[in-house]
A and B are shown apart, each in its own frame.
Chain A
Amino acid sequence: MKVSSLIPFTIASLSAVSFADTLTVYTYQSFTSEWGPGPAIEEKFEAQCGCDLELIGLEDGVSLLNRLKLEGKQTQADVVLGLDDALLEETKSLGILADHGLSLSNLSLPYAFNDEQFVPYDYGHFAFIYDETKVSDVPGSLKELVEDSELSIIYQDPRISTPGQGLMLWVKSVYGENSDEAWKQLKQKTLTVTPGWSEAYSLFLEGKGDMVLSYVTSPAYHMTWEDTDKYKAAEFSEGHYVQVETAAALSSSKQPELAKSFLAFLISKDAQDVFAGTNWMWPVLPEAEKPEAFSLLIQPKTLYFPSAEVNENRSRWIKEWRSAVSQ
């Protein structure tokens, strides 16, 4: 036990000696994994800053916000990366963020995004994915899926999962006050509700459920790495709810300039080239490199709620979902 506890000690002290500055970034697991953007981003940024970029990969965006709440102003992080737009208002209310001072005007986003603290770096619309060799009657709108379709769906639990919450907001933005009734109808088509994306998508790839809630960009992965275009995203005429991923610097950072230069780097072409092919989301810089498959993806209309509205209503909407589908 003693020996193993010494290992991180030694690593920490070694890195403190060999680098003058360490920039600590809190992000999520799939960002830091060897298949995510983490390794390439780290290499490129370290080459230009002469510093050490330390990525800490928490479970997901929600854990990220929780960690910030727990640590408050004592946080070790200089930058937080991976909070989606639904969580922005709640994060801001902690009062621990610094202004980025960057111009976002050259970026292309699904809706006008102008925030003084958060820098958006990629985005993706939620979508239901199906296997076109198995499913033919694909609904053309959310209403058709809810009201007329015979297809079975798998989605994630809005109480604990980001895509699940995305669907909740999607239904809310289409059905408004009638969401309750829509959820009851959708329940008839629901094969199961999973704790996270991984369980839902694995079940779907095993051939369960006609459609699974994921992202518009999911088919691009299968086209690029598995050489199959049988997985498609169903395009809904009302539009698709969008998720914008962002980063921000913390005001408690001892290296505010380095933190800001990292944010600027995130929206530079160098970093933007990385996101599409590793994070499987749309980069915010139009000229950024993307796998060829991205040109074959659907480009749906955008639905979204301002972050403040989500923050204000989230728990009420979750309860509405819970009681509607529990009956």
Chain B
Amino acid sequence: MSVLSRVVSLFILLTFVLCAAGLYLHPGVGLPWRDYFDGWFFSVLQFSIVQALLSSAISVVVALPFSWVLARKPFQYQWALKGLLNLFFIMPVLVIILGVVTAYSDWLNVFSLKGILLAHLYLNVPFAIRMIWQSLENISGEYYRLGSTMGFGRIHAFRWIELPVLLQAIRPVFVLIFILCFSSFTVVLTLGGGPENTNLEVAIFQALKLDFDPKAGVVYACAHIAIIALVIAAFKRQTASALEFSRQSISPKKAQPNFIQVITVVLLVLVLVYPLYSLASSAFSVGWIGSTRLFEAMLTSLLIAIFSALLSILLALGRAFSSQNRFTQLIDFGLLILPVMVVITGLFLLALRLGIAFRVTHVLIVWVNSLMAMPLIIPALRNRIESYKNRYSPLCDVLGMPSGTQLRLVYWPAIRSILPWSFALSVVLSVGDLGVGVMVGSASFITLPILIYQAIGSYQMVLASQLTLLLLLLCALILFIAEWTGEKQAHVKG
């Protein structure tokens, strides 16, 4: 496995190097270096950090009680709820923005920091619930039984068994949400109400697109990496909690959810679906409009997404099997440690200089998408692999088990139940991504998000909401199948 993990690290480093080379070839000149560090820069930096800290802290705090209640005991059809939670994570931002604005503008001023936070909660709390829930589910039943023989009550069980797992589980979730909100662009700009709420991502966009100033892009990208590296270091995840193990093989029975779970599920679904009402009412306001290029767009989107997801799983596995140190910890976050606009511009510029931009469109998209999805599926995979490693690697060493056999007998059963989820999440992330495709812009290249984007640009708002609904249904289907399969897998003994 160490070969794979090295290849993966090299691949990611290579991406950074190529991106830097691309930016170096940028013909823009820019200002003297110190001119960038003015009062405006620091106020933008401050806003970016405050906004992202608030968004991620509130997301985690809101998610905690939900995950805890949901993980109390497994219940029937929980795969459906899990699928729905993931769906929100990839919701097109314009849908969330319009939803939040229509649903909440009577109660609060949505065009302010409050609105930004609310939209970020919608995008990230479901993801946080899903991730923390997963960790709690993995607490081995042995510990509860051990606890009960020692006379643990509910409070003791929480203090000594669940709390340590929770504290471990929220770290990567917090860091991921921080990074995503730190890089948020459309939400911050649209709901920010004006340039007083500008974050680093907006400054980067302006620098690279309007001012044609790669130096500013580099300055902002360095600030971006520095802040994110700080946050990653501050919330460094210790080794996987020894308490985490699979409990499903021990108590596989799914029953009716208990009363509190029913209330929680109903509340969650209502709050989540509420802002989607405006999307649905717009989509159903007239009959199906359709587009002549719909089939082509869906096919291209799905093909790209499947290749991205396969690559992304491979990369994530490579990282998840390797041990972490300060440096590789950053690598685990893949392209998320850099502003996406900088990455895309760098790689695209290089391709342009080499004269291959139009021929490598698909490759570029698969490349970038897989590295964007990788960091999101690493935590869950790493958790599973590490807890199994802690348990079995001494035994494997004693037995002198070759790594192929280890993989088959120890690690495959460990990761099998979360592979479908990892794959599906990468697929839907890629399906919904506008990304590099727009930059290349060949008229013959069309994906579902590009089609939606074009429809809005041509006043076809109703068609756009119909297509968005279709995109969401497609993603929901993929996610439901994955969660359902994952659950089945978890029941089969390894």
Q: Which residues of A contact B (CB under 8 A)?
A: 1, 4-5, 7-9, 11-12, 29-30, 32-36, 38, 54-59, 62-63, 66, 69-72, 74, 76, 157, 159-160, 187, 190-195, 197-199, 201-203, 205-208, 218, 221-222, 225, 280, 315, 321-322, 325-327
Q: Do A160 and B206 touch (CB < 8 A)?
A: yes
Q: How far is the CA of A194 from the CA of B361 in the complex (A)?
A: 29
Chain A residues with CB under 8 A of B40: 322
Per-residue CB contact flags for chain B residues 30-47 toward chain A (1 = under 8 Å, else 0) read: 000000000010000000
Closest to A208 in B: B101
Sample (12) of A-B pairs whose CB atoms are under 8 Å apart: A1-B366, A5-B362, A8-B442, A57-B443, A59-B438, A70-B349, A70-B352, A159-B195, A160-B202, A160-B206, A192-B190, A322-B195
Q: 10 closest A-B pairs (Cβ-Cβ)?
A: A33-B454, A35-B458, A30-B457, A32-B443, A4-B362, A58-B441, A192-B111, A198-B456, A195-B189, A55-B443
Q: How far is the CA of A201 from the CA of B97 in the complex (A)?
A: 13
Given contacts A12-B358, A191-B111, A199-B190, contact A326 B195 (CB under 8 A): yes
Chain A residues with CB under 8 A of B443: 32, 38, 54-57
Q: Do A159 and B210 touch (CB < 8 A)?
A: yes
List B residues 15-60 near A (Cβ within 8 Å).
26-28, 40
Q: Do A198 and B94 touch (CB < 8 A)?
A: yes
Chain A residues with CB under 8 A of B318: none
Q: Do A192 and B458 touch (CB < 8 A)?
A: no
Q: Do A193 and B303 touch (CB < 8 A)?
A: no
Chain B residues with CB under 8 A of A62: 209-210
Given contacts A5-B363, A8-B362, A208-B105, contact A29 B189 (CB under 8 A): no
Q: Which residues of B contact A (CB under 8 A)?
A: 26-28, 40, 94, 97-98, 101-102, 105, 111, 185-186, 189-196, 202, 205-206, 209-212, 278, 291-293, 303-304, 307, 311, 349, 352, 355, 358-363, 366, 438-439, 441-445, 450-451, 453-461
Chain A residues with CB under 8 A of B304: 4
Rounded to whole Å, the gap between the CB of A323 and the closest CB of chain B is: 8
Q: How far is the CA of A174 from the CA of B304 in the complex (A)?
A: 49
Known contacts A57-B442, A74-B355; 11 further A-B pairs (Cβ under 8 A): A4-B366, A5-B359, A8-B362, A8-B445, A70-B352, A159-B202, A190-B193, A193-B195, A195-B202, A197-B457, A280-B459
Q: How far is the CA of A54 from the CA of B358 in the complex (A)?
A: 12
Q: How far is the CA of A46 from the CA of B206 in the complex (A)?
A: 38
Given contacts A1-B311, A157-B195, A187-B194, contact A63 B278 (CB under 8 A): no
Q: Do A33 and B458 touch (CB < 8 A)?
A: yes
Q: Do B458 and A315 touch (CB < 8 A)?
A: no
Chain A residues with CB under 8 A of B456: 198, 201-202
Rounded to whole Å, the gap between the CB of B334 and the closest CB of chain A is: 17
Chain A residues with CB under 8 A of B105: 208
Chain A residues with CB under 8 A of B461: 201-202, 205
Q: How far is the CA of A194 from the CA of B115 in the complex (A)?
A: 14
Within 8 Å by CB of B442, from A9, A38, A56, lies A56
Q: Do A33 and B311 touch (CB < 8 A)?
A: no
Within 8 Å by CB of B27, from A29, A69, A192, A195, lies A69
Chain B residues with CB under 8 A of A29: 438, 441, 450, 453-454, 457
Among B101, B444, B445, find the residue whose CB has the most chain A CB atoms closer than 10 A: B444
Q: How far is the CA of A11 from the CA of B192 in the complex (A)?
A: 44
Q: How far is the CA of A280 from the CA of B459 in the complex (A)?
A: 10
Q: Do B438 and A192 touch (CB < 8 A)?
A: no
Q: Do A325 and B209 touch (CB < 8 A)?
A: no
Rounded to whole Å, the gap between the CB of A133 and the closest CB of chain B is: 17
Chain A residues with CB under 8 A of B278: 206
Q: How far is the CA of A327 from the CA of B461 in the complex (A)?
A: 34
Q: Do B457 and A33 touch (CB < 8 A)?
A: yes
Chain A residues with CB under 8 A of B361: 8
Rounded to whole Å, the gap between the CB of B360 and the closest CB of chain A is: 7
Chain B residues with CB under 8 A of A35: 454-455, 458-460
Chain B residues with CB under 8 A of A206: 98, 101-102, 278
Chain B residues with CB under 8 A of A201: 456, 459, 461
Q: Do A198 and B358 touch (CB < 8 A)?
A: no
Q: How far is the CA of A72 from the CA of B441 in the complex (A)?
A: 18
Q: How far is the CA of A30 from the CA of B459 in the complex (A)?
A: 10
Closest to B101 in A: A208
Closest to B364 in A: A5
Q: How far is the CA of A208 from the CA of B102 in the complex (A)?
A: 8
Closest to A90 in B: B212
Rounded to whole Å, the gap between the CB of A318 and the closest CB of chain B is: 8
Rounded to whole Å, the gap between the CB of B151 and the closest CB of chain A is: 57
Among A56, A66, A198, A201, find the residue whose CB has the most chain B CB atoms closer than 10 A: A198
Closest to B452 in A: A198
Among B97, B185, B443, B451, find the residue whose CB has the most chain A CB atoms closer than 10 A: B443
Closest to A53 in B: B443
Q: Do B455 and A202 touch (CB < 8 A)?
A: no
Q: How far is the CA of A202 from the CA of B98 in the complex (A)?
A: 8
Closest to A72 in B: B27
Q: Do A59 and B441 touch (CB < 8 A)?
A: yes
Q: Do B212 and A69 touch (CB < 8 A)?
A: yes
Q: Do B454 and A30 touch (CB < 8 A)?
A: yes
Q: How far is the CA of A69 from the CA of B358 in the complex (A)?
A: 17
Chain B residues with CB under 8 A of A32: 443, 454
Q: Do B190 and A195 touch (CB < 8 A)?
A: yes
Within 8 Å by CB of B189, from A54, A70, A76, A194, lies A194
Q: Do A199 and B438 touch (CB < 8 A)?
A: no
Rounded to whole Å, the gap between the CB of A5 and the closest CB of chain B is: 5
Q: How far is the CA of A59 from the CA of B451 in the complex (A)?
A: 13
Closest to A225 in B: B459
Chain B residues with CB under 8 A of A280: 459
Chain A residues with CB under 8 A of B349: 70
Q: Do A315 and B26 touch (CB < 8 A)?
A: no
Chain B residues with CB under 8 A of A76: 358
Q: Do A4 and B307 touch (CB < 8 A)?
A: yes
Q: How far is the CA of A153 from the CA of B195 in the complex (A)?
A: 15
Among B98, B111, B278, find the residue whose CB has the most chain A CB atoms closer than 10 A: B111
Q: Do B439 and A59 touch (CB < 8 A)?
A: yes
Among B111, B293, B362, B441, find the residue whose CB has the most chain A CB atoms closer than 10 A: B441
Q: Do A190 and B457 touch (CB < 8 A)?
A: no
Given contacts A5-B362, A8-B361, A206-B101, contact A199 B186 (CB under 8 A): yes
Q: How far is the CA of A69 from the CA of B102 in the complex (A)?
A: 41
Rounded to whole Å, the gap between the CB of A155 and the closest CB of chain B is: 10
Rounded to whole Å, the gap between the CB of B467 and the closest CB of chain A is: 12
Q: How far is the CA of A321 from the CA of B195 in the complex (A)?
A: 9
Q: How far is the CA of A30 from the CA of B464 in the complex (A)?
A: 14
Given contacts A4-B366, A66-B209, contact A202 B196 (CB under 8 A): no
